[in-house]
Structure 1
Amino acid sequence: MSADAAKARLDAPSHALWDRLSRKADLRGRAGLTRTARPRATAVDLAGNDYLGLSRHPDVLAAAAAALAEHGLGAGGSRLVRGTTGHHEAFETEFAAHTGAETAVLYSSGYLANLGALAALPGPVLLDAHAHASLHDAARLAGGRSATFAHNDLDDLERQLQTLRPGLVAVESVYSVLGDAAPLRDLHALTSAHGALLLVDEAHAIGTIGPQGAGGVAAAGLAGDPGIVITATLSKALGAAGGAIAGPAVLRRHLHDTGRTFIFDTAPPPAVIAGARTALAIARESDSARTELARRAALAAAALDMPAPAAGVLSPPAGDARAATAWAERCTEQGIAVGCFRPPSTPDHRSRLRLTVNTGVPAEDYARAVDVVAATRRIAAS
């Protein structure tokens, strides 16, 4: 290409697609919906999901370091090629035992675990309207019929069970934005009566509720029920990364043979899984931390005039997106990290802050942070 031709290309108008995207970005900015990824700064953490503070536990770090020295940085391949190590298989066995399931399958993220589960299980699919985005995305990507029922509305679910006749109903045990719990016993009774499986995403419940932190299914007395499939992430109370599906042994075989997000994805790094194994063992013996988590959640709820949450998630409403952003920025200015959830991240289409309890934060710092959040709410609203 000649110098003149190259200059002409540089001077040419940008592609129309980029112009449209730029205009849409400007509109989002004016509505307070711009999202920015920034390196995290030192702050009191009321935004992350490290509920039990295990991501920095010395035993967790030591286990990860030993596996890093043995296996190197990455897994080296997919699970079915070269990516499986003893740590991967041991975690699957230990996680299944923890949740009361027959077996489990490990994934590189909770998102991929949900995609893999819904793609593998028979449809149609009914989803709680507040279920995590990965479950709704999975239902769309699976290509079959799907519908939603009103959040935690058993009457609406029963009506749709009678008309859609789904093979699967998908819910969260503790919902990721509002932090409320699903009525799992009632849901299980309905799905069983209509011959449907119940998929329960335990992302925010593993480690935080249930006997020895075994999650909402175990808390409801349903552990090991063949009509329930559990999905979870390792990135919250276990302080690691990865995801899992737990259920009957026949499901594991089916996922190994047909599951695209298992077959074609690189395995999670052995060091991360070694750390997650140790975190799981610690979480089982952390009843005192769970008691403290509940105490701190109740403290924040009282300060913000909200009901106490089911586990460690609180999402106080914040007006419109601009008001939510202003409130979050005032917290940041005072050294408090909070989540700022705006549509489409909020299932009820209301902008909110999201606060998460981290028992690894010193109690005095946590109490001060809650006071700051409550005080800045009044300032942001004025």
Structure 2
Amino acid sequence: MPDVPATRRRQLRTWRRGAQPWLLEAPQAEHPLLDLASNDYLGLSRDPQVLEAAARELRDQGLGSGGSRLVTGSRPSHAALEEALAAWLLRDRVLLYPSGFQANIAALSALADRHTTVIADRLIHHSLLVGIRACGARLVRYRHNDINDLSRRVSQAPPPVVVVTESLFSMEGTSPDLDAIAGCCAEHGAALLVDEAHALGVLGHQGRGLCHGLQAPVTLISGTFGKAFGSGGAFLAGDGAIGEQLLQTSGAFRYTTALAPPLAAGALEALRLMESHPGWGPELIARAGRWRDSLVHAGWPRPLGLGPVLPLVLGADQAALDRQQALERKGLLTVAIRPPTVPEGSARLRLVLRRDVPAGTAARLTEALGPR
């Protein structure tokens, strides 16, 4: 067993949904906790319409698909979800994957090989790093959200080049200037992969992510259904050529059991709800701004970014753990994020604001946090 310091040892905790959508219960917890940790940004994982759509598909098509998409696993709900996403994102082709981890590995395998230089933001998700290693590309990392550093490295790298970033960094709460990044890639002939997992449903025009409406092209978008969609699984979206390439060559698509049909049906219903409620994202962003104001008023540094992820950087691992436990004693759940998930010396509480969190939670949170 690896020698892991006590302050970095991970433990599994089992949670049950509480009486209200924002509550979680655990055997080891004295009382239900108000959930300020999960990524269900729009509260759709318990939405009655989403649940009913998944239940209908469960009764009609069964729990699992029973095979890969290229054998017997493809269902009408898969095709309907792919077509709806393609229209929503203005992309030619979408392919579904059982997980975001698989989708990101598939994306890098399609765009890069051992002859490629991948220039990636220093804080990209672990799944993207695994994908870069798997395809054998040369990895170059640029300073977080630093377009000048990226431009310099892209201009100096021998082709072919792939640039990798995220539209909402899940531990930082920050977003890059994607317009500038896409323009830089277009100028130098580099491909661009953007992970929109945490932005879709919340950021961009009508929640369509920060790639929507860019002047320069984005080669491939990676997205997941386990965040704002309230479901599970993932997808890749691109033009017709890259979609056909993925269909014909992606091992992560070919050699895996297809996404469970109820998850696909639930995600499709969630997408329909997002389309019919285009104000959900802007309302959540506005509320997140008020939460940031509240934290500043209470003496805390303003969390970076604009979206629903609000990190409170504390530095030491034990300091983050102590704050987590103190908040739990007051009925609030937020998780201490420690290295290697975040850089050394930047352990933090990762606060997550969701649409269904009750009014008054910000005041309750700042009172429970106390002084920095």
Q: TM-score w.r.t. structure 1 length?
A: 0.87
Flag the 1:299–1:163 CA change in 2: closer, same or farther, 3 A: same
The answer to whether the aligner puts 1:148 opposite 2:123 as a matched pair is no
Q: Which residue of 1 aligns with 2:211?
A: 217
Q: Which residue of 2 aligns with 1:10?
A: none
Which amino acid in 2 is paired with 1:114? Answer: N
> 1:98 & 1:373 partners in 2: Cα distance?
41
Unaligned residue ranges in structure 2 (runs of 5+): 16-24, 26-31, 297-301
For 1:343, which of 331, 335, 339 is the aligned residue?
339
> 2:162 & 2:177 partners in 1: Cα distance?
16
Deviations 1:13-67 (A, max 9, x none): xxxxx4xx3xx03xx11xx111111012232111000111111110000000000
Contact 2:182–2:217, Cα closer than 8 Å, also in 1: no
Which amino acid in 2 is paired with 1:154? Answer: I
Deviations 1:233-263 (A, max 9, x none): 1110001111110001111111111111111
Q: Which residue of 2 aligns with 1:176?
A: 170
The answer to whether the aligner puts 1:206 opposite 2:200 as a matched pair is yes
Structure 1 residues 237-246 or 288-297, which shifts more? 288-297
Flag the 1:251–1:328 CA change in 2: closer, same or farther, 3 A: same
> 2:311 & 2:95 partners in 1: Cα distance?
31
Unaligned residue ranges in structure 1 (runs of 5+): 1-17
- State the secondary structure of the residue aligned to 1:316: strand
Contact 2:303–2:310, Cα closer than 8 Å, also in 1: no
Please report how far the alpha carbon of residue 348 of structure 1 lies from its aligned counterpart in structure 2 after TM superposition.
6.3
Deviations 1:290-316 (A, max 9, x none): 233123211221232215633111111
Q: What CA RMSD, in Å, does the superposition of the two structures yield over aligned residues? A: 1.7
The answer to whether the aligner puts 1:330 opposite 2:323 as a matched pair is no
The answer to whether the aligner puts 1:374 opposite 2:369 as a matched pair is yes
Contact 2:53–2:266, Cα closer than 8 Å, also in 1: yes
Q: Which residue of 1 aligns with 2:233?
A: 242
- State the secondary structure of the residue aligned to 2:171: coil
Please report how far the alpha carbon of residue 369 of structure 1 lies from its aligned counterpart in structure 2 after TM superposition.
4.2
Please report how far the alpha carbon of residue 358 of structure 1 lies from its aligned counterpart in structure 2 after TM superposition.
0.8
> 2:249 & 2:89 partners in 1: Cα distance?
24
Contact 1:83–1:266, Cα closer than 8 Å, also in 2: yes
Number of residue equivalences: 348
Please report how far the alpha carbon of residue 368 of structure 1 lies from its aligned counterpart in structure 2 after TM superposition.
4.4
Flag the 1:349–1:89 CA change in 2: closer, same or farther, 3 A: farther
Q: Which residue of 2 aligns with 1:67?
A: 57
> 1:222 & 1:114 partners in 2: Cα distance?
21
Flag the 1:76–1:372 CA change in 2: closer, same or farther, 3 A: farther
For 1:104, which of 89, 94, 101 is the aligned residue?
94
> 2:149 & 2:282 partners in 1: Cα distance?
34
Contact 1:313–1:356, Cα closer than 8 Å, also in 2: yes
4+ residue runs of structure 1 moved beyond 4 angstroms? Answer: none
Q: Larger radius of gyration, structure 1 or 2?
A: 1
- State the secondary structure of the residue aligned to 2:56: helix
Contact 1:192–1:227, Cα closer than 8 Å, also in 2: no
Please report how far the alpha carbon of residue 190 of structure 1 lies from its aligned counterpart in structure 2 after TM superposition.
0.7
Q: Which residue of 2 aligns with 1:358?
A: 354
Q: Which residue of 1 aligns with 2:18?
A: none
Q: Alignment identity in percent? A: 37
Q: Which residue of 2 aligns with 1:132?
A: 125
Which amino acid in 1 is paired with 2:68? Answer: S
